[in-house]
């Protein structure tokens, strides 16, 4: 399965996401903010990054845009998680370069399904490293 980096400042959400993805057979690394996530991308070399939109130090939208603009991570799949559910919020996520956007609260099953879909697309279109 895949190597997934999860960044969320809410410990309960982080743990839920990590638990569900580990059940699916993924190797999961968790961090509590965007700045740590940026550092961890280079160290952990994930196949997918799951980012909360609103985090301290570096938000998910900014981090996603940073990944898209950097050589070596420009094709790294990103799934955004957010309590922001307005159409304009979701559009902002995709405009930042996200591959998918999941609104909180979310079903752990739906999260697992979306992760599988993003990883499958990245395998077929050459996005994953």
Instruction: Give the per-residue pLDDT at 129.
Output: 42
Instruction: Give the per-residue pLDDT at 123.
Output: 81
Instruction: Give the per-residue pLDDT at 36.
Output: 97
**Band of pLDDT at residue 84, cut at 50, 70 and 90:** very high
pLDDT > 90? residue 100 = yes
- The stretch 103-120 carries a mean pLDDT of 97
Domains and CATH numbers, the chain: 3-123 (3.40.50.2300)
User: Residues with Cβ < 8 Å from 113, sequence gap 6 or more?
Assistant: none
What would the pLDDT profile of 114-129 be if each residue is shown by its tens digit?
Answer: 999 999 998 866 544 4
Q: How far is CA 79 from CA 40, 64, 69, 90, in A?
A: 16, 9, 16, 11
What would the pLDDT profile of 6-45 be if each residue is shown by its tens digit?
Answer: 999 999 999 999 999 999 999 999 999 999 999 999 999 9
Place of tokens 């996200």: 98
Mean pLDDT of the chain, nearest integer: 94
Percent of the chain scoring above 70 in pLDDT: 95
């Amino acid at each position: 399965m895949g190597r997934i980096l999860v960044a969320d400042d809410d410990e309960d959400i982080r743990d839920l996401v990590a638990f569900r993805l580990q059940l699916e057979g993924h190797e999961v690394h968790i961090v509590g903010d965007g700045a740590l996530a940026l550092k961890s991308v280079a160290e952990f070399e994930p196949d997918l990054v799951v980012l909360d939109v609103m985090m301290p130090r570096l938000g998910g939208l900014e981090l996603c845009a940073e990944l898209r603009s950097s050589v070596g991570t420009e094709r790294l799949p990103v799934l955004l998680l957010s309590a922001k559910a307005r159409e304009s919020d979701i559009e902002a996520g995709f405009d930042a370069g996200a591959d998918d956007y999941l609104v909180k609260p979310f079903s752990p099953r739906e999260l697992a399904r979306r992760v599988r879909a993003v990883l499958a697309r990245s395998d077929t279109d050459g996005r994953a490293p």
